[in-house]
Structures are given as C-alpha cells and as structure tokens.
Structure 1
Amino acid sequence: MNRRSFLWSAATVTAAAGAGGAVVLLSDRGTPAATAAAAPATGTARVVRTDLVTTEPLFGTLGFAGEVRVSGVTDGHSYTWLPAPGAVVAAGQPLYEVDGRAVPLLPGDRPVWRPFAAGMTPGPDVTQLNNGLVALGFAHGLTGSPRFGTASAAAVRRWQHALGVPVTGRVELGEVVFAHVPLRVTTVSADVGARPEPGAPLVVATSTDRVVTLPVPVDQAFLLHVSDAVTVTLPDARTTTPGTVSAVSPVAVAPSQDTPSDRPPVSTVDVSVTLADPGAAAAYTTAPVSVSVTTASVRGVLAVPITALVARAGGGFAVTVVDGPRRRQVPVTAGVFADTLVQVSGGGLAEGDVVEVPAS
C-alpha cells in the first residue's frame, strides 16, 4: 500500500469511528487494549471476492484539437465574404472570398507558397493538390503523386469548371488553402470589405475532433500513458463518457505567473484525451471537465467494507469475524481502497465470512 493509500485508510477508519462512536484498539493478542467510548452498535457484512479499482480525479478543459492559423496569401481589392466563428468548412468548400472569388479548402499540412502549373518542380505541395483533386472526384490515379503533369492540369480544369471560375488548368497563388479538414472556425481577424494583405492573420480554426486537455502536475504524470482508458465527467457533473489518452507531452510547462500566492507553483505536463463518443459532448463548445484516472486495480481479491477495519494498537488493521455468538479478531493487510470496499489479505479470512461493521 502506498503512502497516500495508507493515509487515506487511516483517515477513513478514524472517520468511521467518529460516525459510529469509537474505534477499538486491539493488542497483539487480539484483545481490547483501550476503549475511547462506549461500544457502538454494530451490524455485519460478508467478505467478498471481487475486482477493485481506485481512481483519482484530474481537471481539464473540453475543446477541439489541432489549432490552425491561416494567413492571407494574395492581394486584391477586398474580402467579399468571410466565415462566421463556429462555421465548419469541409474539403472543397470556400474558406473565404476575395473580390468575389471563393478560395476553397483542401486537405494538407503545408501552406501554399507557389502557383501550380505544368512543368513545375515536383514537391509535397503538389502531392497535396493531387490528393485533394482525387478526394473531390476530379482525378484518378494521382494519389501520392508529387508531379503536376497533363493529368493534374486536366483535373484542375474540371475542378475550375465545377467552381464556375476561369478554366486555365493552373492554380495561382492564393486560389486555394491547405489545412486539416474539416476545419472549425474559431476567430476571424479580417473584416468583410477590408483590403487583403498577404501574410496578415486571417482565420484561426481547429479540427472538429473533440479533445480534453489536462495540465497534469509533474508528480502525477506517471499515472497517464498513451492508450490508457479514462472516464470523463462532463460539465453537468452527472454524465460520464469513456475516453482514451491520446498524447502525453514530453516537456513540462513552467508554472504560470498568475498562480495564486497561497498555492505553491507547480510545473505541469499537457495530456490530451479523446472521447470514445464525441456526440456525448455535442452540447458543449469549451467547458471544464474532470477525468477519472485509474491509480490502482486488482482482480479477484478478498474485500470488506472499509468500516470493517479495526485499528490495532501495535499498528496495522484487523477485522472482527462473527461466527454465531463467537467473535474473533483476524489481523489483515489492507490493499487497494475503492469506493466503500478495501482489499484485505492475511490468514484466517475466507470468502463468505461474516465481519462486523458499524450499524447503519
């Protein structure tokens, strides 16, 4: 049993004493050594064989993963349409509009930095364009190709015809945006009617993937590993949904300068948790949540109610086994605590035995 569990067990037994009247301290021979008050009323419970899980709550924020910042890449007279915060933009849909021409969104990680035309140098940006044209149904057999050849030019012409823009077979700088798709717009830095400025901040967005971000104190980071199962309690404090640890940052973050003076500064590690059912959090955009993390678990162990533990005068615990009119104290070692039960081990105790507990 670790130090935290031991302190908890001692506190729990003390609390039980306060509720029931007194805790009997037993001598090493199992006889009463001292009684702080009159013997409390008692009941009984059975020793069970079960699985126990101990959890600890951590607190974080429900939001969206993968922030993306889009800057303007073309000039013009004015922005004629901009998305509203909260809008979701899918592949092929316009992210914004300049001088009446929509600038569509295609999937990719690299920003646009040159025009696309036949004879250009192969590169990963061309691969993004070819992949996007295939995904939209305007090309076949170009997936993964870094070359812009006649097949790419033909696919671009088909795409331009569908968009209702001049059919050139080229994609000029500023006529397409690459980013994670679908994209959820969070803030818009420009205004409709403003003059486009290449390089100026335009849109901040995220993916539509729900994620919980946990700033975990460094001394608790060992509790979490990628692929660990956790339980997320949503902001209504009642609804829970399963989650999985998707990322654990290898870098600790220094404590904030805004830490209250009555709290010691603590460095943290950022942990990301994805939801098994993102729809469970559909009612929330950004909200505080709690995450239950398993700190200990055992299977198929003997367990008794925590209130059955009796503190021994020489240290440790015992339980009082009831056998008809007879009572005997059996020394036990306390293991994992979970809800109202505690793991117990030691000779002289078996599944189904009746133990004494404070009367409810």
Structure 2
Amino acid sequence: MLGGAALAVVAVGGGVAIAVTGSYSDDGKPSTSAGAGTSLVAVQEGPLSSQVDQSGTLAYAGGADGTPYPVVNQAKGTYTRLPVAGTQIDCGETLYKVDQEPVILVCGSTPAYRDLAVGDDGKDVRALNKTLVDEGYAAKSELDPGSKHFGSATVTALEKLQDDRGADVTGKLDLGQAVFLPGPLRIGKVTAQNGTGAAPGRPIMEASSNRREVIVKLDASQQSEVKKGDPAQITLPDNRTTSGVVSRIGTVAAAASSDKDSGSQPATLPVSITLKHPKDAGTLDQAPVQVQITTGGVKNALIVPVTALIGQAGGGYAVEIAAGGDGRTRIVPVTLGLFDNANGRVQVSGALTAADRVVVPST
C-alpha cells in the first residue's frame, strides 16, 4: 500500500528550480511498481554541458566598466559643429568644432591635460604617435608608434594631419585641440548644442566604442558558475542566433531594489559577451536578446531527464528504473552532476547503466 509522496526542489544552474516527487510505502521503502501516467525512458550515455540562461541587451561596448566614455571639452569659444547620435568617428578624424577649428580624436587612454610640443614625453605622446602612424600620416620606419617622445618625426606627421583636417598647421598640439579617448568611437548622447559657449573641463557628449557586445545582468549567486572565456549563444530579436564569448565579469554587484509592488530583487553582476560575428547584429542598439552561456561540460556522462528524479525520505535523490519486463521497478539512489537546463537533463551516477530505463511522468 502506498503512503505519502515525497517532494523535493532541485536547484539547477541558471537560477531554475524544478520540483520532483517520489512515492514511498508507509514504512519508508520505495514502491516496486510503476504508477499510472508514467513511461520509461532509456538512460543515455555521452557528452553533457550545463548552461546559464539569461536575458541581455545588445549594445556597443563602452569603457572597462561597461559605461559610456564621457567626452570632455578643453577648448574655449563657441560650438560650431557637433556630431549627432550614432555617428562613428575614427582615430585622427574631427570629433567636433569650436570657432570652426577642428577638435581631433586621438586614440589613447590618457585624457588630454596639457599642451604637447617637441621635447615632451609621456603616454599621451605615445597615443599621438600611434594615431599618426595608424592613420597613415607617418610610416613605422619614420615614426615609432610605441615611442613616448615628441620628436621631429611627430612634428612632420602632425602637420600633415592638421593640414588634412583644416586646422592651423603648427606641428604642436595645444590643450583643447584634441580629445584623447580609446577609439574609434560611436557617439551616444550629445548634451552640448551648436552656438553655445564651449567651456574647458565640461562633458559635452557620451560615446562608446564601435565594438558590439551583449550585457547580461547575472544573479550574484551565479557568479561562481560563469567565467571569462565561456562560450555563449545569443538569440537576436528576429530569432536568428549568433555565437559569442564571455569577455568581462563585473566585480561590483548592483544593489538589490525593492518596492511594495515588485518586492526585493536579487543583486546582479554585469557580464559582457563579445560577439564572434559582429555583422550578425547589424545596426541593432539597446536591443533585448536571450543568452545561453555554457558553463561546463563532461565528455562521458550517464544522463536522465530531470523529471526522472525523485526525492528520498532521508535526503538526496534517486531514480526509479525498470526491474524487468513485468512492470516492476526498483529505486536507485543517485548523485547529481551537471544540469543541462536547455534540454531538461541531468548527469547522474549510481548503480545504473546506459542499458537501464527510468520512470518519468508521461507527457
């Protein structure tokens, strides 16, 4: 005679919880016959991978922390030309104009903070030299792109750039004549307006790189599951899929939010995924996507459906397998391994083989 049903909740990767049940006799021993509404499924043997499924946002990559780059003006005068949102600016090109004088984008991580001329040394000079060489204003044999020194070769190449951009040809770079940012850039929000006064030290727009990435807000409790280099599959809004790889995992969790309507929300970490084939994303920006990150795998595992798991009265899990051709079954305790959330499968180990068949609810 069958007694109560045991209920357990299996927490699997990706924040999914699945309830599993198992029937036991009144003395705590498992039943020995398959119940109605069940079927038998063969235990599989082979490779298995685990995944984390999350929603994400397809956008253009920003700085190291994922935020946009602030474009800070250092020139004095009046804004006479500003880019519109979505404009792409390459290294060495005019970013905007003040009093009709071009402010040039120099690609480097050290912000503009001084005038540059012959004899100066520093990381900002190296960024200038590299930009001049990369954009064809000097050959590597003429100007070392890794040099931190502002020499005569820098002067010659800078004069060519200034002439090309319609700037005063001086062979030096005064503060305010260039913006130093990692580039090329894609312009985001522009806060300055043409015809208004340009004040040094004031942010006037935001920009991102022209690289595509997907940002996922990962539940902080899943941080140990995902690592840099994990492969990912991104489902685009039109249901096409493209591949990517985890390129950055944030270290600061966003504060949990709560209100009377929605209740508490779990803290999250930003995870950046770089697209392997950026052209697949087209011109989509701030587009919602679905992401599946593969977090682990085994080459050879015994695999059963998650729905085959039953909770044991003393704790742990088991599966019910066919004991013969007469419909009788027996309970086999199992140890759980990887979960394949996408396909509802789980790795198990115990006294069973690929020749066995497990009891699952009929669909």
TM-score when normalising by structure 2 = 0.80
The match for 2:355 is 352
Q: What CA distance in whole angstroms lies between the structure 1 residues aligned with 2:221 and 2:307?
A: 30
Q: Give the superposition deviation at 1:84.
A: 0.7
Change (3 A) 1:103 1:44: same
Change (3 A) 1:68 1:341: closer
**Deviations 1:216-241 (CA, angstroms, capped at 9, x unpaired):** 333222222222223333345x3333
Change (3 A) 1:147 1:319: same
Q: Given the alignment, which residue of 223, 226, 230 partners 2:232?
A: 230
Count of paired positions: 342
The match for 2:104 is 104
Superposition RMSD in Å:
3.4
The match for 1:191 is 193
Change (3 A) 1:331 1:94: same
Q: Would the aligned equivalents of 1:25 and 1:32 in 2 still touch at CA under 8 Å? A: no
Change (3 A) 1:149 1:29: closer
Q: Give the superposition deviation at 1:90.
A: 0.7
Change (3 A) 1:301 1:84: same
**Which deviates the most, 124-133 or 41-50?**
41-50
The question of 1:62 aligning with 2:58 is answered: yes
Amino acid at match of 1:131: K
Q: Given the alignment, which residue of 212, 215, 226 partners 1:213?
A: 215
Change (3 A) 1:102 1:343: same
The match for 1:329 is 330
Q: What CA distance in whole angstroms lies between the structure 2 residues aligned with 1:353 and 1:266?
A: 41
The match for 1:18 is none
The question of 1:4 aligning with 2:11 is answered: yes
The match for 2:123 is 124
The question of 1:289 aligning with 2:289 is answered: yes
Higher normalized strand content (fraction of residues)? 2
Q: Secondary structure at the match of 1:117?
A: coil
Q: Would the aligned equivalents of 2:52 and 2:292 in 1 still touch at CA under 8 Å? A: yes
Q: What CA distance in whole angstroms lies between the structure 2 residues aligned with 1:228 and 1:110?
A: 31
Q: What CA distance in whole angstroms lies between the structure 2 residues aligned with 1:179 and 1:82?
A: 17
The question of 1:343 aligning with 2:347 is answered: yes
Q: Would the aligned equivalents of 1:323 and 1:354 in 2 still touch at CA under 8 Å? A: no
Q: What CA distance in whole angstroms lies between the structure 1 residues aligned with 2:314 and 2:148?
A: 76
Higher normalized helix content (fraction of residues)? 1
Q: Would the aligned equivalents of 2:219 and 2:269 in 1 still touch at CA under 8 Å? A: yes
Runs of at least 5 residues in structure 1 that lack an aligned partner in the other structure: 15-22
The match for 1:138 is 137
The match for 1:48 is 44
Q: What CA distance in whole angstroms lies between the structure 2 residues aligned with 1:240 and 1:230?
A: 10
Q: Would the aligned equivalents of 1:81 and 1:97 in 2 still touch at CA under 8 Å? A: yes
Runs of at least 5 residues in structure 2 that lack an aligned partner in the other structure: 1-7, 63-67
User: Of the two, which has the highest radius of gyration?
Assistant: 1
The match for 1:269 is 269
Amino acid at match of 1:321: A
Change (3 A) 1:296 1:228: closer
**Which deviates the most, 96-105 or 321-330?**
321-330
Amino acid at match of 1:86: G
Q: What CA distance in whole angstroms lies between the structure 1 residues aligned with 2:215 and 2:252?
A: 15
